[in-house]
Amino acid sequence: MSIELRNVTKKVRMGHIKLTYTGLDLAIPDGARVALLGRKEAGLDAIVNLICAADAPDKGTITRTQSISWPIPGAGFLSKHLTLAANARFIARLYETNEEAFLARVAETGRFGDLINARMDECPTEMRSLFCFLIGALLPFDHYIFTGLNAGPKEDRGRIAELVGELAQRAGIVLVGQDAKNAEVLCDRAYVFNEGTATYYDDMEAAIEHFSSIEAREVDEDDFMGADPELEDLVNMDF
């Protein structure tokens, strides 16, 4: 088993989201393609934090036996005062990969051209989101955690889908969020999160039927970014 949450209890307190997961069991086997489906109020960010070891459970145990990516295309850790190249080098150093080779691969795959030497805050939003996606997707992990697949300019979405398809052939995929459409294509099992419970399905149709039956609460006007984790990540960028 690659990632396993056993009898986990976690209080989720994120803005207006207040709920408690009790006795949560979740198993992601080696190479599995799993969707974690839930509306925004299901507190999936907290579950992702537990999987990535960014947070600890209140009770219970979590075991990880393989390498796991960070939530892609997360951008909160990137420095907007540095260039795309400097940020890519940071990731390469962190993951002990050849800096030059990694930078060249990111630049080539994203077709960034001279933009690779531009500061993050001077870069167009869609290219920034593509960059955030690629720096994670181009590193060799055993499991990739995706919180969104709509990165980059619209004309590049096909290439992104191809890249994710390739990753799914050789590694495990955990797709987190409300993207039932992509989950149906990419994943072969799912957990549906709602009101502090997680229901397991090995049939994607049944999982999506359950997920669709959960009504999304009205999103506050102030919380207009809530529906799009990619946009939220970019706005929350550090520094």
Partner 1 sequence: MFADIRTQINVIAALTIRELQNLMKGYNYGFAWALLEPLMFIGIMRVARSAFKGLTPPNMQPSTFLILGIVPFYMYIQAVGAVYKSISSSDNLLKFPRVTPVDLAIASALCDFCIYFALFILFIVFFSIYEGAWPPQNPLAVVAAFIALWMLGMGLGFVVGTAARVFPPLKQFVSYYNLANRMMGGMLFVITMFPSSFWPYFTWNPVLHCMEMLRDGWFVTYTSPVASPAYVMEWILGLWLLGLSLERFQRRVPYV
Give me the residues that bind partner 1 (CB under 8 A), please: 11, 13, 49, 52-59, 64, 67-71, 74, 76-77, 79, 81-82, 86, 90, 93-96, 236, 238-239
DSSP 3-state of 105: helix
Q: Find the shortest distance in angstroms from Cβ 89 to partner 1.
A: 9
Residues 6 or more apart in contact with residue 25 via CB below 8 angstroms: 5, 6, 7, 8, 198
Q: Find the shortest distance in angstroms from Cβ 51 to partner 1.
A: 8
Distance from C-alpha of 190 to C-alpha of 187, rounded to nearest angstrom: 7
Q: Find the shortest distance in angstroms from Cβ 234 to partner 1.
A: 13
Cβ closest to partner 1, residue 108 vs residue 122? 122
Cβ closest to partner 1, residue 9 vs residue 125? 9
Cβ closest to partner 1, residue 92 vs residue 180? 92
Distance from C-alpha of 60 to C-alpha of 213, rounded to nearest angstrom: 30
Q: Find the shortest distance in angstroms from Cβ 238 to partner 1.
A: 5
Q: What sign does the dihedral 102-94-36-212 (CA atoms) show? A: negative
Cβ closest to partner 1, residue 161 vs residue 237? 237
> How many other CB atoms are there within 10 angstroms of residue 102's CB atom?
19
